[in-house]
Structure 1
Amino acid sequence: MGLDELRFGFLPVDKVAHGELAGFSCGSSSLDGFLQDFAREYHENRFAFTSVVFHEDVAGPAGYFTLANDAIPLNDSEVFDLGYSAEIRLASFPAVRICRLAVREDLQGAGTGAAILRIVFGAVLGGVEISAARLVTVDAKNDERVTRFYGRNGFERSLWAEKQAGHNRRKNIRPETVKMICDILKR
């Protein structure tokens, strides 16, 4: 079921009745549990802000996302690929981190996740008067389906993070997550 992009909206988690969150299920007990048990506390303590996404044609939440501030070092190749001026010298680049993103199980594969990412990108771009960031980062679950989703939506693996994680590959340790970045001005 494809949902009309214009009919999505979102509210901060502290403006949503707890009962509306109780039935949310995305197929991951850790993502469901975070929304139901911890998102408000993180939100109220300003550790990360969670927004609950709704659609006019769907009863209850369609999904949610949690954002926090981030900064990411970039290697010289990434800086060049992003088209930054040679005069820009930062130890790390300001970013917004997607801490969690979940889509209700019955809406997965229907474009809802991509619509939520567009909401995230709009929120980051819309905050230009209060916060500077053009990179969005995510520590994506190291699962082909998840990394492919982010890749289709403009994210690339962080070359800097890949280099840092290289020692784990030499020990045959598969990392649980993959750092991915998206330059929202190039989307």
Structure 2
Amino acid sequence: MFPKSVNSNYPLKFIRLDPTNGVKAFDCGDKDLNDFILNRAPEFQKYLLSVSYACVDVDDASKVYAYCSLANDKVAVGDFKDKTEFNRFRKKQGFPNEKRLKSYPAVKLCRMGVDESAKGRQIGTTVLDYIKSMFVFENKTGCRFLTVDAYLKAVPFYEKNGFRFMNIEDDDPHTRLMYFDLMDLVA
């Protein structure tokens, strides 16, 4: 079930996927995202590259409303156009001088999809709230940021959920690198 901080108007739960309980049916309207959860997620998990979770109906775990795939990441100097921009980022996040490192721990939201049958029910926001809670309330190794390479059409969704652009400009014509500072939930 969800931690108390996660609001959901639907009887949902998250399950960690593994090769024995993969997703059998899912359609979010994006061929690549569908292919990942239906076919490739178990291999990524087998080789310790990412972990996938499914947001399912409490009474019927075969009904997958959404999924997400997470991996370790970092926010580092190389994510910025130049060192000056990175220094401004560190200052903006409130890092004291002795904590100004060359990189900071993060978790990458590698993939996320909401099934067509669940669109418009705020389940995407529920998934993000759940992920945020995992690293604020159950943070096992230290994690300051969530990162995502957001598809351009998904940028407004991530902005609505508190994500900000890592850089003012990105070179990638398909995605934008965004981050969420977990200290926003702690402060």
Cα RMSD, aligned residues only: 2.1
Structure 2 equivalent of residue 138 of structure 1: 148
- Output the CA distance in 2 between the equivalents of 1:122 and 1:16: 26
- Output the CA distance in 2 between the equivalents of 1:33 and 1:63: 14
Structure 2: which amino acid aligns with 1:157?
Answer: F
Unaligned runs of 5+ in 1: 169-173
CA contact (8 A) 1:3 1:110 kept: no
SS at structure 2 position matched to 1:50: strand
Unaligned runs of 5+ in 2: 1-6, 78-85
Structure 1 position 90 matched with structure 2 position 101: yes
- Output the CA distance in 2 between the equivalents of 1:175 and 1:35: 24
- Output the CA distance in 1 between the equivalents of 2:57 and 2:20: 14
CA contact (8 A) 2:65 2:117 kept: no
CA pair 105-3 structure 1, distance change in 2 beyond 3 A: farther
Q: Give the Å deviation of 1:85.
A: 1.1
Q: Give the Å deviation of 1:15.
A: 6.7
- Please give the TM-score of this superposition, normalised by the length of structure 1: 0.82
Structure 2 equivalent of residue 38 of structure 1: 40
| Bigger Cα displacement from structure 2, 73-82 vs 98-107 | 73-82
CA contact (8 A) 2:68 2:109 kept: yes
- What pairs with 1:1-187 in structure 2 (closer than 5 Å)? 4=9, 7-14=11-18, 17-18=21-22, 21-56=23-58, 60-73=63-76, 75-128=86-139, 130-143=140-153, 146-159=154-167, 162=168, 165=170, 168=171, 175-187=173-185
Q: Give the Å deviation of 1:12.
A: 1.5
After the TM superposition, which parts of structure 1 deviate over 4 Å for at least 4 consecutive aligned residues?
none
SS at structure 1 position matched to 2:26: coil
- Output the CA distance in 1 between the equivalents of 2:95 and 2:113: 32
CA contact (8 A) 1:54 1:60 kept: yes
The number of aligned residues is 170
- Output the CA distance in 2 between the equivalents of 1:81 and 1:8: 36
